[in-house]
Structure 1
Amino acid sequence: MASSNGPRLTPVADGPPAPARTRPGLRFALVLLASIAVVAAMALAPRMQNAEAADLSALSEFDGEDCNVTVPGSWASNTLLPDPFTKIDGTRITSKAQWECRRAEIKELAERTIYGDKPAPPDSVTGTVTSSRITVNVSDNGRSASFSATVQLPSGSGPFPAVIVYGGFGADTATILATGTAIINFDPSSVGAEGTSRNNKQGAFYSIYGATSSTGILMAQAWGVSRLIDVIEQSGGSVLNDRTGVTGCSRYGKGAFVAGAFDQRVDLTMPIESGTGGAPALRSIAQESGSQPLSSAYGEQPWLGDAFSAYTSNPAGLPVDTHEMVGMVAPRGLFLMENPHVDWLGARSGSVAALAGAEIYKALGVEDNISYHSNTSNGTHCATRSEWQGPLRQSIQAFLHDSGNPPGIMNIHPNKAGNLAQWRNWTTPTLSDDPGQTTPPEETTTPGEEPTTPDDETTPPPTGSGCTAVVDVVNEWNGGWQGNVLVTAGSGAVSGWTVSWTWPAGQRITSSWNASVTSSGSTVTATDVGWNGTVQAGQTSNVFGFVGSGAAVSPTVTCTAD
C-alpha cells in the first residue's frame, strides 16, 4: 500500500506550467490568522466575510504532509463519537494551527479503517482542458491509465469556476449553471467501477495500483477528482479557473463527500442524500431504525475499503467517525443535503454527523462555512428541491465566486433530528489564534462549557448570583429560523441551568440539540444535559440551539441556576 504521508511529487505539466505554490501548511496558517484579524477589526461581526473564508482552501491535495503521524496497533473502543480535538497521544489541541496535524491523524486513521489508502500524487499527470472536455493521463510506478470528463460552460465569458458532478445524477445543474459556474460531468466508474468483486476491482485507479488493492472505490473515485483538479491547475486558466466544487447524489453523494474530505483544493463540497458510507455517522447508523446497515453498504458494492469489514458489526471499534470527515473539510465550504422521507438514507445520523462536525468549524472560527438542510417536503430520492436552491446559490457564490456570505444554516427536519448530546462526552475547545499556544485561555474554556463566541459577549452578566439568558437569532428563512440560547452566569459559577420563555405569536420548536426541551402550549422549558451545564462566573456560554417555525423572535427568557 502506498503511504499517504510520504513525499509529494509535483505532477508534470502538459503545456503552460502551473503557478508557483507557497508552502501549503504555512499558507493555511497565515491566511487563517489574517482572516481572524480582519474579523476582529470589523467589531467582531458575527458573520465572517467570505472573501477571507474562501481563501482558506489549501494549494495542495494534502497540507499535512510534514506532520509526523504514527498510528498505534490498537485503540480503545468507544460507543460515542470520538473527540476530534484529542490527538492520538491523548493530548488535546489548543490552537487553530494545531488542527493541520490533528487533521492528518484523522486522515490516516480513516484511510486505515474506513476507506483504504489514497496514494500520494502520481509521478506524472498530464492532460488538456477545452470548452467541452477534460482529458487526464496518469503514470505512477511504471503503470499508466487515462480517463476523461465532459465540460458544460455557462453563458458569459470565462475563465469559470467549476463543479464536478458525479455521474450526472441528482445535482441541480440548472441552478449551478445559472450562477455562472461550469459543470464537469465526471463518470466515477471510469476510475473505480461498481459491480466488481473486491479482489478484481476495475477502473483507472486499479489499473495503476492493482485490481486487488484494498482501497475502496469511493477513495479511488476521489483520487480521480484530484487528478481532474491537477489538469485544471496545469491548463493555464483560459477555460476554467482554480475554484472547484464537487457534488453528487446517493452513491455519488458518498463519492462527493469523500472527494471533498480528502483533497483540500476542493473549495465547496456538496453531498446529496449520501446515506450509509457517506456523511451519516456510522455509530448512529447502526442504531437508526430503517437505515441501511453497515454490513449492507459494505457488501452492496466495494465502496468502502476492505479493512472496514472488521467494523460492520462493531462501529464502536472505529477510531474515527464521519463527523471527523466533516471536520476534514473545514475550514472550506460544505453544504450537506439530506432526504428525511426515506429511512434507508439515515438522515437522523446525517444530522448527528453535521452537528458534531459543525463543532470543528466553530472551534476554527468559521462556523458559517458549514450548512445542513434536511427540512424538505418532497421525498423523491435525488429530486431537485426548491428548498435547497437558495442556499445552493449562496454557497456557490460565496466559495466559488467569492461573492457574499455562505448560508451558515442548520435546517433539520423535525422527524429526523439527531441529539448530539447523546453522542458525545467531549466539549468544544476555544482554540487560540496563537500557533504557539499550548494551554487553552483560562477565561474562555472550562470543562463542560461550550466556547464563548463573539455573539455570546452581547449578553450582560447578572448583578448577583444566578443566571440570565437570551435567544439569539442565527438565521431565518421563509417559514422558519435557527436560534441559539446564550446563558450568562452572575457572580458565582453555574453548575446547571433551566431556561423558559413564552412564544409571542404561535412559534414552536421543530428540532433542538444539546438540551432537554419540553413545550406546554406556548411555553418552552429547557434544561442542560450535564456536560454543558457549567458556566463560569461572569461568562456567557452558547448552551444549545434549535430550529423554530414561523417568524424569528427573541422572547424574554427566564434563567434559573442550579
Structure 2
Amino acid sequence: MSIGRFLLIGGIGFFGMARHGLAQSTPGLPDPLRRDNGAVISTVAEWNQVRRTELIELFTSQVYGRSPEKPAAMAFQVFDTDTKALGGKATRKQVAIYITGKTDGPRIDVLLYLPNRGRKPVPAIVGLNFWGNHSISVDPGIRIATSYLEKSRNNPYVNLECVVDNRATEACRGINARQWPLDSILDHGYALVTAYREDIASDVPATRFSTGVHTAYPDWQNRPDNFGTIAAWAWGLSRIMDYLQTDRAIDGKRIALFGWSRLGKAALWAGATDTRFAAVLSNESGAGGATLFRRGQGESIRRLCTVFPHWYSTNFRQYMDKETQLPFDQHEVIALLAPRPVYIASAEQDKGADPIGEFESAKAASAVYRLFGREGLPTTTVPPLNTSVQGTIGYHMRTGEHDVTSLDWRYFFQFLDKHFTMK
C-alpha cells in the first residue's frame, strides 16, 4: 500500500463522534500560511525563507524560550562498546557528551543499541527516557544513571521502590523496559538511541535551571524568553544529533525522534527547530505538544505554567486563561516539520492530552504539507479506534490511557518503514 492511503488495522471500536468530542474544524485557528503582516504564503520558497522563520521566532520568544547555539567546546567520549550485547544481537555503545568540553561540567550519557544484522549504516530512533538509561533494559552493561531520580509510590508506569535517596540502584535495571521494545526496534533494522531527561535538565520545580545543561548558561534565565526545560530537552536532542552525525554506523539522514508525554513535547520542538531530524513520532504529547490550546480541553496554559513553571518561558505566562485569544497554536509547530514525516498518536482515555485536539492539530497542519505537494493527514474525520491513517502525517487513537503500548510501536514501525523505505 502506498503512502497517503489509509492503513486500516486493528479493531473497530469507535462509538461515534460524541464519545470523543466534536471532530470538526476548530474555529478561529491561526492560518499557518498567513504571515504576520497578513500576506498569504503561496510558495515553498516563501514558507522556507519567510513564514517558517516568523513561526520559529514566535514560538521561541513566546512559548519555549530561546536556546543557545551549539557549544563550541563540546566533546564526545565513547566510554563503552560491546559488539556482542543482548546475546550477540546488538552492539551497545555508551557515549558521554561533555557540554562545555570539561569532564567536571554538565554531561549527557547517551545509550545506543545498533542491530548487528543488516546493512550499515542503519537508521535510528532517538528518544529521551523518564527513569534513566538503565531503565529501558536489564542489560547489566548499561551505566546506572547518577542524576536525580524521582521517587513516587503507586507509579502507573514503573515500580520505583528501587530508588534510594532519589538515586537509582542496581534493582532499577529494566524497570521501564515495557515501553521500550528493544528487540522489536532492532528486528526492524533500527538503532535505538536514548538519554535520561535529568542529565539534560531538571524536571523538578525546586531545582529548575540549577542542574544539567542550564548550569552552563546561568544568565539565560534572566530574561522573559528564558531557556525553559522543554527547550533544554529539545536542545539536548540536537546535541545527541551532533554526535550521531559523527558515528559511521548511523545513517545521519534517517534519524527519527520519538517522545512520549512531556518528552513528546520536546521531540516536536526539537524536530521543528532542527531539520536534521528526518521524522518525528509524538505519542500523547498533549498541551504544549501536538494538541490545540484553542479547544479549551485537556491541560490549560494556567496549569502548565503553575504546576510545571520550569517547562516554558516566562513570556508564556501572559497567555494564562487566554487560550481562545492566542496569536498561535500547536498545529503551527507540527507545520514546522513539513515536509518531513510526523506521526501523532493519541489514547482515548487520555483526557489530559485531548486526543481530538491532537487530531485537529494534525489536520490543520496539513495545509503546509499540501504546499510542499505532500498529502499531510489523509482524512478529515477521526479514524476508528485502534486504526492508523498514514500520509506524510500519520495519526491513530487507541483504546486505553496515557501510556506507550505495543500497538503504538506497531504503527510507528509501519510509518517509519515506509518513509525510510526499509526492506
Would the alpha carbon gap of residues 164 and 202 (structure 1) be closer, same or farther in structure 2, given more than 3 Å must change?
farther
Q: 2:421 aligned to 395, 399, 402, which one?
A: 402
SS in 2 for 1:149: strand
User: Per-residue CA shift, 1:308-361, capped at 9, x if unaligned?
Assistant: 111121134432211000001111110111112121221121111111012211
Q: CA deviation at 1:189?
A: 1.5
Would the alpha carbon gap of residues 175 and 211 (structure 1) be closer, same or farther in structure 2, given more than 3 Å must change?
farther
Q: 2:232 aligned to 205, 220, 226, which one?
A: 220
Would the alpha carbon gap of residues 92 and 294 (structure 1) be closer, same or farther in structure 2, given more than 3 Å must change?
same
Q: CA deviation at 1:279?
A: 0.8
Tell me how far apart the structure 2 counterparts of residues 79 and 348 of structure 1 sit (CA, whole Å): 14
Q: Which residue of structure 1 aligns with residue 395 of structure 2? A: 372
Tell me how far apart the structure 2 counterparts of residues 276 and 321 of structure 1 sit (CA, whole Å): 10
Tell me how far apart the structure 2 counterparts of residues 331 and 46 of structure 1 sit (CA, whole Å): 17
Unaligned stretches of 5+ residues in structure 2 = 6-25, 82-91, 130-135, 137-175, 376-390
Q: CA deviation at 1:174?
A: 4.2
Matching residue's letter, 1:361: Y
User: Per-residue CA shift, 1:173-205, capped at 9, x if unaligned?
Assistant: 44322211011121122111111348x513332
Contact (CA 8 Å) 1:175, 1:393: kept in 2 or not?
no
RMSD between aligned residues: 2.7
Q: Which moved more, 1:254-263 or 1:217-226?
A: 254-263
Q: Which residue of structure 2 aligns with residue 185 of structure 1? A: 194
Contact (CA 8 Å) 2:3, 2:392: kept in 1 or not?
no
Q: CA deviation at 1:239?
A: 5.3
Q: Which residue of structure 2 aligns with residue 123 of structure 1? A: 72
Would the alpha carbon gap of residues 185 and 47 (structure 1) be closer, same or farther in structure 2, given more than 3 Å must change?
closer
SS in 2 for 1:270: strand
Highest Rg: 1 or 2? 1
State how 1:162-173 maps to structure 2 within 5 Å.
162-167=124-129, 168=136, 170-173=179-182
Q: Which residue of structure 2 aligns with residue 90 of structure 1? A: 38
Matched, 1:153 2:114: yes
Q: Which residue of structure 2 aligns with residue 244 of structure 1? A: 255
Q: Which residue of structure 2 aligns with residue 176 of structure 1? A: 185
Unaligned stretches of 5+ residues in structure 1 = 1-44, 50-77, 405-562
SS in 2 for 1:282: coil
Matching residue's letter, 1:398: K
Tell me how far apart the structure 1 counterparts of residues 355 and 324 of structure 2 sit (CA, whole Å): 20
User: Per-residue CA shift, 1:4-45, capped at 9, x if unaligned?
Assistant: xxxxxxxxxxxxxxxxxxxxxxxxxxxxxxxxxxxxxxxxx9
Contact (CA 8 Å) 1:275, 1:346: kept in 2 or not?
yes
Q: CA deviation at 1:246?
A: 1.2
Q: CA deviation at 1:172?
A: 4.5
Q: 1:312 aligned to 307, 320, 343, which one?
A: 320
Tell me how far apart the structure 1 counterparts of residues 395 and 99 of structure 2 sit (CA, whole Å): 36
Would the alpha carbon gap of residues 85 and 150 (structure 1) be closer, same or farther in structure 2, given more than 3 Å must change?
same
Matched, 1:346 2:333: no
Would the alpha carbon gap of residues 172 and 108 (structure 1) be closer, same or farther in structure 2, given more than 3 Å must change?
farther
Matching residue's letter, 1:373: H
Q: Which residue of structure 2 aligns with residue 381 of structure 1? A: 402
User: Per-residue CA shift, 1:79-108, capped at 9, x if unaligned?
Assistant: 721111111222111111111121111000
Q: Which residue of structure 2 aligns with residue 204 of structure 1? A: 212
TM score, norm. by length of structure 2: 0.69
Matched, 1:270 2:231: no
Q: Percent identity among equivalent residues?
A: 25
Tell me how far apart the structure 2 counterparts of residues 258 and 172 of structure 1 sit (CA, whole Å): 24
Q: Which residue of structure 2 aligns with residue 298 of structure 1? A: 305
Q: CA deviation at 1:217?
A: 0.5
Matching residue's letter, 1:134: V
SS in 1 for 2:75: strand
Tell me how far apart the structure 1 counterparts of residues 401 and 209 of structure 2 sit (CA, whole Å): 31
Contact (CA 8 Å) 2:301, 2:317: kept in 1 or not?
no
Q: CA deviation at 1:306?
A: 1.7
Matching residue's letter, 2:44: K
Q: Which residue of structure 2 aligns with residue 102 of structure 1? A: 51
SS in 2 for 1:329: coil
User: Per-residue CA shift, 1:353-409, capped at 9, x if unaligned?
Assistant: 1110122112211222111111x23x13214142x344322222234x4348xxxxx
**Higher normalized contact order (CA 8 Å, seq sep 6+, divided by chain length):** 2
Matching residue's letter, 2:126: I
